[in-house]
């Protein structure tokens, strides 16, 4: 008997109003508790749409999304927000707001409209800021941060929710190597030590191959492959989906993820005289 999935979809189909074909069609996924699940695919393949469907921000035209066995639309937004933390893409604030204020919003689902933050809330906020390495600029306005720092603040806000499940939409865009690796290490720690389930949309195929237990490869709204990294990241599949020649090698190590499949896109043919 397997443990029940934390999040599952059945024959999910979604079409934007006025679009000629569905943005997603026939998506069946099962995300096991405490695992790191990565969604990959070319631009426009439906990754962010899938994330919105999983979060109940869009209604599927067909099929269903279940969180802990219950249709996601039957959850109240607040109960779902106590369970699921989200790091959205491209969030921009209009008004001056400090890092600690923004991270503190992660506690709102637990506080409701009026309850004052207590000791537990302050600890959650501080711990989240420490884990994401943003605590030294807690008092700084968001507008004064670099893109990478801002991204870490958004992750800290999601962690301040103390979520059972964390969904991230390309969280390491515009991060340097160290901060990118730190985010992936943090995600690995969250799944491994804290038992958090992580669902990640990313373009970093090689990092996804090293850190995720399972990959979902989307192409034009269809699940082309789903499974362990070495089942999904094969030369034939990747070349067909991304329309670019690649070679697949094994991560040489050292490290606990030695042997993970790694893709190298090839340079074009040398131009003839």
In this chain, which of 64, 68, 97, 135 binds another protein, going by CB under 8 A? 97
The phi-psi region of residue 142 (left if phi > 0; otherwise alpha if psi is between -120 and 50; otherwise beta) is alpha
Pick from 92, 243, 269, 273 the residue near another protein by CB under 8 A.
92
Specify the DSSP class assigned to residue 92: -
Residue selected from 34, 109, 171, 229 as contacting another protein according to rule CB under 8 A = 109
Q: With binding defined as CB under 8 A, does residue 101 bind another protein?
A: yes
Shortest spacing between CB 235 and another protein, in angstroms: 37
Binding residue (CB under 8 A) for another protein from 62, 69, 74, 77? 77
Stretch that binds another protein, among 31-39, 92-100, 119-127, 196-204 (CB under 8 A): 92-100
Piece of 94-102, 173-181, 246-254, 265-273 that binds another protein (CB under 8 A):
94-102
One of 15, 33, 91, 173 touching another protein (CB under 8 A): 91
d(CA 33, CA 213): 11
Is 98 a binding residue for another protein by CB under 8 A? The answer is yes
Kindly list the distances between the CA atom of residue 152 and the CA atoms of 19, 87, 157, in Å, as whole numbers in the listed order: 35, 10, 9
Q: Which of 40, 102, 132, 225 binds another protein (CB under 8 A)?
A: 102
Using CB under 8 A as the binding rule, whether residue 86 contacts another protein is answered as yes
Burial class (CB in 10 A: 0-12, 13-18, 19+), 147: exposed
| Relative orientation angle of helices 147-160 and 177-192, to the nearest 10 degrees | 10
From 155, 179, 174, select the one nearest 166 (Cα to Cα): 155
Q: How far apart, in whole angstroms, are the C-alpha atoms of residue 32 and residue 230?
A: 18
By CB under 8 A, the count of residues binding another protein is: 32
Distance CA 51, CA 207 (A): 19
Instruction: Point out which residues bind another protein (CB under 8 A).
Output: 55, 57, 77-82, 84-86, 88, 91-98, 101-102, 105-106, 108-109, 111-114, 116, 161
């Amino acid at each position: 008997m397997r443990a029940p999935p934390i999040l599952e979809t059945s024959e999910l189909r979604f079409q934007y109003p006025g679009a000629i074909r569905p943005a997603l069609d026939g998506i069946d996924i099962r995300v096991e508790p405490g695992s790191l699940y990565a969604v990959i695919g070319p631009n426009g393949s439906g990754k962010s749409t899938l994330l919105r469907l999983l979060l109940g921000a869009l209604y599927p035209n067909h099929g269903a999304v279940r969180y802990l066995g219950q249709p996601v639309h039957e959850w109240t937004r607040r109960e779902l927000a106590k369970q699921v933390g989200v790091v959205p893409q491209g969030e921009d604030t209009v008004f001056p707001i400090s890092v600690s204020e923004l991270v503190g919003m992660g506690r709102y689902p637990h506080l409701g409209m009026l309850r004052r933050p207590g000791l537990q809330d302050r600890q959650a906020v501080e711990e989240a800021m420490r884990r994401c390495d943003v605590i030294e600029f807690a008092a700084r306005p968001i507008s004064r941060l670099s893109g990478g720092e801002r991204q870490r603040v958004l992750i800290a806000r999601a962690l301040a929710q103390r979520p059972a499940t964390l969904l991230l939409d390309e969280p390491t865009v515009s991060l340097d190597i160290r901060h990118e690796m730190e985010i992936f290490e943090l995600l690995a720690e969250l799944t491994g030590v804290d038992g958090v389930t992580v669902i990640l949309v990313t373009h970093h195929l090689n990092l996804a191959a090293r850190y995720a237990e399972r990959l979902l490869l989307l192409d034009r709204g269809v699940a082309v492959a789903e499974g362990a990294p070495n089942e999904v990241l094969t030369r034939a599949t990747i070349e067909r989906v991304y329309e670019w020649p690649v070679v697949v090698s094994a991560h040489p190590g050292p490290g606990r993820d030695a042997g993970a499949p790694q893709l190298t896109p090839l340079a074009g043919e040398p131009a003839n005289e």
